[in-house]
Copies of this chain bind each other. A is one copy, B any other.
């Protein structure tokens, strides 16, 4: 029987050693917000790191309070008896550097100025995140993760781990991801960024001091994002051309149900997410291109890896289509690495990686069973 990890408490971990990022900027210190589930075994061999996507964070499973409306963002996947089984694994969720859920980021107060970092917070590459996560592993005394796991931008982190720190990751689970963005992916990100950057309330990124947030821009960015998370067919099945009132109103209020859904999602998101973090996350996505540091050759990059790989894609995902996952698989095979690939039939588009779907969860469970046997979890 599966159940929840229950009530969980996040912890903020301070890293007081300076870190120099890919951009050349050095942060003298930073905090990472984390949650952990399950117990680290004596050999410290059963740890799994969960890397989050664009709008994710450290709160991956369980609830903070009994009356929380929703559990962590991947609660379907992680818990006692679930595919990532917290009876066997020690699971770490982390809010990435630059995030807006407690880790040091643009909305954090810069101790040097007493003001939020805002526009002065540096942009980061996925490899920078991996460096901060390596220090996080050190903090827990974890020499090697049993697995680094992530969907979308999270999968890029898992991939980067295997290249930069091959000895420290046993398995990489790369879900609904891509080896680098296409021009179309970058284009969508740039429209989202321009919506934020041109919002009069953005104030060059230093909106905190003006007592406003670029809510309009963030709302548009999220609405657009949601279109790319869902499939055309899935959206059609769920909303179709349903009219809220049954007839045309000849105005700009909500007419079609899909409009209601998108505007609601945009409004909700703009209430809590930090616009500078959104910008930073989309740039990390754009920049990700591990082959770039190897003469444009992804195969050469992946020859660095020692890990074994599970790559998963979803048939109706058009943001990071199965074709993109197959590029990773092909490169791994060319690099003579051990890879299992599953293309899951789903109508849920990119969002499918977050959903509870038996064929998907069965693959994950089977693969993680193998890992558990290897690490005696």
Contacts A123-B250, A287-B248; A258 near B183 (Cβ below 8 A): yes
Between A and B, 17 residue pairs with Cβ closer than 8 Å are A123-B250, A182-B232, A182-B240, A183-B232, A183-B239, A183-B240, A184-B227, A184-B232, A190-B256, A191-B224, A191-B262, A193-B252, A194-B220, A194-B223, A199-B216, A220-B220, A248-B287
Q: A125-B248, A252-B279 are in contact. List 9 more A-B contacts (CB 8 A).
A: A123-B251, A181-B241, A183-B232, A187-B227, A188-B227, A190-B258, A190-B262, A191-B227, A248-B287
Say yes or no for A286: interface residue by CB 8 A criterion. yes
Please, which residues of chain B bring their CB within 8 A of the CB of A181?
Answer: 241
Say yes or no for A171: interface residue by CB 8 A criterion. no
Say yes or no for A122: interface residue by CB 8 A criterion. yes
Say yes or no for A200: interface residue by CB 8 A criterion. yes
- Where chain A touches its partner, the secondary structure class is helix
What is the 8 Å Cβ interface bit string for chain A, positions 219-234, against chain B (1 contact, 0 not)? 1100110110010100
User: Looking at the complex, which one of B22, B191, B283 makes contact with A220 (CB distance below 8 Å)?
Assistant: B191
Question: A234-290: which have CB < 8 Å to B?
Answer: 235-236, 238-241, 248, 250-252, 255-256, 258-259, 262-263, 266, 279, 283, 286-287, 289
B186 near A256 with CB under 8 A, answer yes
B263 near A223 with CB under 8 A, answer no
